[in-house]
Amino acid sequence: MIGEQYQVTSTRRHHSLCSLTDNSEVGPEDEEAGVLLPPTPLQKLTTDLCKDNKTIKDLIIGRRVGFYKVRGEIGYGTFSRVKMAFHALTKDKVALKILDRTRLDSQAQRLLAKEISSMESLHHPNVVCLYEVMETPSRLFLVLEYAGGGDLHNRICTEGKLSDNTGKITFAQILSAITYMHNINIIHRDLKAENVLFTTGGCVKVADFGFSTQISNQSDSLDTFCGSPPYAAPELFRDECYLGPPVDVWAMGVLLFFMVTGTMPFRADTMGKLRRCVIEGAYTVPPWVPGPCQRLIKGILKVVPTERCAIDQMLGCDWLLSVEFPWSLVPPEPMSPLQSLLDSERGGVDVEVEKEVRSSLEELGFTTEHLHNNQPKHSRSPVTGVYRILLHRAQKRRGCDCPPVVRGMVKDPKREGLRAYRGLRHTSKLCVLS
């Protein structure tokens, strides 16, 4: 907390965003007044970034990027690596997705632009949050919410299929995320167990929007084959134009089958055989899967897209009746732009949350001028990064990251022997249908 004695002059400290990289520690007015203020954490950091030899060396060798201290690798993709990092001011853990811009062809660049734009529109407790975007001539960095509980694929491979209750709780959160995305016309197109992450508290976070797309309405047809073959809907294998929502729904059916059985519904040793299995809808649900869950799987994995369960039917299915969501399934208010900190009109963010964020920003040394000079909704700004991290932290403290609960005396079925699906992690592909 900034001490009372510093607050009188705190608004004089910085006058613009430029002072984030300006190494003057104390304004001339402060010196004239004879009050030598200790540097704020922000001033100390910006001074170190310009003058401290160790910090500068860390920046050169990639152990620091912007305001973040970079640590070990936690994942990788076709064009990217994901590292753990810490915000130097807030100390929050983040996931840093690093893309090598020199390796991106024009199509990959287009997909990346869509990934950023989708993530900027998405604010939901079950979707990984984008905090900030940073760029250098050769690299692009997406600063993402960190989900420290591993991914669903690894969990099932190491611990076996999920119990009925855990399956419900996990699937309900995925469904909540996809319902929200489809309501705002964003299609994921790469849903798979590897892209379903967990927080350490067991909350689901849908990740990797690298193949996502925004449609103008639900009947828009798409023609790019995206995703991982074992999760791909029959219409994708038939090289047809396709509608976005049913393709995500099919992938959710494959995910659900995998969660409750520990095996994949469509398995084959060649792509040709896999294609045939999927096009024919040749799969069998083991008889021990509870009836309501079997009916949901069968309603989703329908070869003809128009016959496939719609999201609304999934929300109302028997299997999920006992799940109680801590938040509503209607889209939450969007995360307010930074501007709202300054305006009396607060767009969606709770007054108490806003007070807490404003006070934390002040403690770190951000002034009203910094906030004024920051473009609202501008992801390429360190001020936005800090703001979104602090806002998210305040919202999490108020329970927005709690998994749903299952109502009533639902007994956990006895865990069966480990029958994990021990296949390779699924790689996703993209090709434009000709």
- The binding site for ATP consists of 97
Give residues with Cβ within 8 angstroms of 246, minimum separation 6.
Answer: 233, 235, 305, 306, 308
Nearer to ligand ADE, 114 or 168 (CB): 114
Establish how many alpha carbons lie within 13 A of residue 303's alpha carbon, considering only the half-sphere containing its beta carbon: 12
- Tokens 């449609």 identify what position? 215
Query: How far apart are CB 144 and ligand ADE at their closest, in Å?
Result: 4
Name the amino acid, one letter, at 82. V
The pair of structure tokens assigned to 204 is 């689901």
Give residues with Cβ within 8 angstroms of 117, minimum separation 6.
Answer: 214
Confirm or reject binding of residue 119 to ligand ADE (CB under 6 A): no
Piece of the chain touching ligand ADE by CB under 6 A; list 40-48, 138-146, 253-261, 262-270: 138-146
Neighbours of 342 (CB within 10 A): 12
Confirm or reject binding of residue 128 to ligand ADE (CB under 6 A): yes
Query: How far apart are CB 195 and ligand ADE at their closest, in Å?
Result: 9
Confirm or reject binding of residue 95 to ligand ADE (CB under 6 A): yes
Q: Which of 48, 190, 208, 401 is catalytic?
A: 190
Query: How far apart are CB 399 and ligand ADE at their closest, in Å?
Result: 20
Return the residues of window 4-33 that contact ligand ADE according to CB under 6 A: none
Confirm or reject binding of residue 122 to ligand ADE (CB under 6 A): no
Nearer to ligand ADE, 112 or 147 (CB): 147
When binding is defined by CB under 6 A, the residue of 79, 146, 257, 283 that contacts ligand ADE is: 146
Piece of the chain touching ligand ADE by CB under 6 A; list 101-109, 144-152, 278-286, 368-376: 144-152
Could you please report the per-residue DSSP string of 245-274? HHHHHHHHHHHHHHHHHSS-SS--SSHHHH
Nearer to ligand ADE, 198 or 366 (CB): 198
How far separated are the first and last CA of the chain, in Å rounded? Answer: 60
Nearer to ligand ADE, 361 or 391 (CB): 391
Where does residue 321 fall: left (phi above 0), alpha (psi -120 to 50 degrees), or beta otherwise?
alpha
405-406 and 323-324 strand pairing:
antiparallel
Neighbours of 187 (CB within 10 A): 27
Rounded Cα distance between 228 and 231, Å, is: 6
Nearer to ligand ADE, 93 or 298 (CB): 93
Confirm or reject binding of residue 75 to ligand ADE (CB under 6 A): yes
Which sign, positive or negative, has the C-alpha torsion 227, 306, 175, 188? positive
Nearer to ligand ADE, 74 or 420 (CB): 74
Determine whether 92 is an active site residue: no
Query: How far apart are CB 369 and ligand ADE at their closest, in Å?
Result: 32
- Burial of 192 (C-beta count, 10 Å sphere; 0-12/13-18/19+): buried
Confirm or reject binding of residue 99 to ligand ADE (CB under 6 A): no
- Note every long-range contact of 81-85, with CB atoms under 8 Å and residues 24 or more positions apart, other chains counting: 82/144, 84/146, 85/143
When binding is defined by CB under 6 A, the residue of 144, 177, 203, 406 that contacts ligand ADE is: 144
Q: Please provide residue 341's backbone torsions phi and psi, each rounded to the nearest 5 degrees.
A: -65, -25
Confirm or reject binding of residue 82 to ligand ADE (CB under 6 A): yes
Confirm or reject binding of residue 149 to ligand ADE (CB under 6 A): no
When binding is defined by CB under 6 A, the residue of 35, 74, 104, 329 that contacts ligand ADE is: 74
The pair of structure tokens assigned to 408 is 């009533």
Q: Please provide residue 372's backbone torsions phi and psi, each rounded to the nearest 5 degrees.
A: -60, -40
Query: How far apart are CB 332 and ligand ADE at their closest, in Å?
Result: 19
Confirm or reject binding of residue 147 to ligand ADE (CB under 6 A): yes
Nearer to ligand ADE, 49 or 122 (CB): 122
Return the residues of window 298-357 that contact ligand ADE according to CB under 6 A: none
228 in Cβ contact with 429 (< 8 Å): yes
When binding is defined by CB under 6 A, the residue of 65, 197, 289, 297 that contacts ligand ADE is: 197
Piece of the chain touching ligand ADE by CB under 6 A; list 3-11, 141-149, 212-220, 266-274: 141-149
Query: How far apart are CB 350 and ligand ADE at their closest, in Å?
Result: 25
Contact positions vs ligand ADE (CB under 6 A) = 74-75, 82, 95, 128, 144-147, 197, 207
Catalytic residues: 190
